[in-house]
Amino acid sequence: MKTFIPNATSNFQITARDSKTHARTGIMCTAHGPIETPVFMPVGTQGTVKALSPKDLEECGAEIILSNAYHLYIRPGIDIIREAQGLHKFMGWSKPILTDSGGYQVFSLARLREITEEGVRFNSHFDGREIFLTPENVVQTQEKLGSDIAMIFDECPPHDATRTQIQEAVRRTVDWARRAKKVHHREDQLLFGIIQGGNFLDLRKESLEQTVAIGFDGYAVGGVSVGEPKEQMEEVVGEITPLMPSEKPRYLMGVGTPLDFFWAIESGIDMFDCVNPTRYARNGAAFTRFGKVVVRNAEYSKDQTPLDETCRCYTCLNFSRSYLRHLFNCEEILGHRLVTYHNVYFFVSLVRQIREAIREGRFVQLKKEFLFHYDESIR
């Protein structure tokens, strides 16, 4: 592959397209190195992907991770991270980082916040102290963190909000996007806009049109996977993604199961993040080519096979389901760590396989083969 060098108007280049779908591959340039897309970003909300070291993440093939500016603002505090010369040095991760703005917390911490035109007033979920976030100080916080990709501050409404409420969220998010763009000055940091609109396609298109007019380095579909039926989510993403600027990276926020990757990439999505690999691992559930396996279940007590015989991760090459079940039943931290390692490796490598299949013109074939073997139920 040719080396891609960004210029003043381009940080992203499409390198291959699937002839039968909207799937594509690309390369995005950042201050801490290139990212090949489609890409899955492991979630390290508080500056760490739970149970894994930066070395583990590199071994798993992670190209970029996600952290959350809201949580880092609360703990340990931006000044401490600045004194450590930025988030990369603070957490010992040398590759790209995307920081979420805290827009999702507007949704998830609804009982602790008040939305105004100026911003959002929170009572910290940690110690109760009052925090006032604005589009301006959220961008400035991310500039101080030194992340490679910063997200604007948006209002993420619940899926069952009324049309009037979602219309207001779209209007406010676009206004906040304009304000964020004005105060963003770091030339070595990309700034992404966020598309809202709930399940109303006309509002989604309105949000997209107005956000694109402001001009960002990439665009994200926000406000999905917030409790709505999966069919509605797929419809919204399937309709709106092909309308997003093709020359910019497209990010689907907070969505990520193995099945989601296929239909979303087929729609033209380039980037994903999700807590599923770590969250499921904490409960002893592993993702495999055949579906999810709850390794702590009694049926695996004498099972000497790996989690997934096709997987080449450290966990699968060295440990059996029987041993992993033993670790969980003894409440040994190593069990959590090993299953997390496997899950992150599985997600990252699956998206890499999809990327390779697009380049080789066999994306549809890979999707068909994967869906044939994959059982979405938990075993």
Catalytic (active-site) positions: 100, 273
Whether 60 contacts 36, CB under 8 Å: no
Residue whose C-alpha is closest to residue 49's, from 62, 39, 36: 62
Rounded to a whole number, what is the largest CA-CA distance in the chain?
61
Strands 285-288 and 271-274: unpaired
CA of residue 31 relative to chain centroid, distance: 19
Of 240, 239, 206, 200, whose CA–CA distance to 220 is shortest?
A: 240
What does the block give as tokens for 65?
Answer: 């991770």
Burial of 85 (0-12, 13-18, 19+ CB in 10 A): exposed
Are 73 and 99 within 8 A, CB to CB?
no
Residues 6+ positions from 311 with CB-CB distance below 8 Å: 288, 289, 342, 345, 346, 349
Picking from 331, 303, 302, the residue whose alpha carbon sits closest to that of residue 316 is 303
Listed residue (127, 123, 103) closest to 112, CA to CA: 123
- Which is nearest to 190 in space by CA: 255, 241, 223, 142? 142
Helix locations, the chain, DSSP H: 54-59, 69-74, 78-83, 87-91, 103-108, 135-145, 163-183, 201-214, 230-240, 258-267, 276-282, 314-318, 321-329, 333-359, 363-373
Tell me the C-alpha distance between 167 and 321, whole Å: 49
Could you tell me if 269 and 26 are in contact, meaning their C-beta atoms sit under 8 angstroms apart? Answer: no
**Which is nearest to 358 in space by CA: 4, 122, 17, 1?**
17
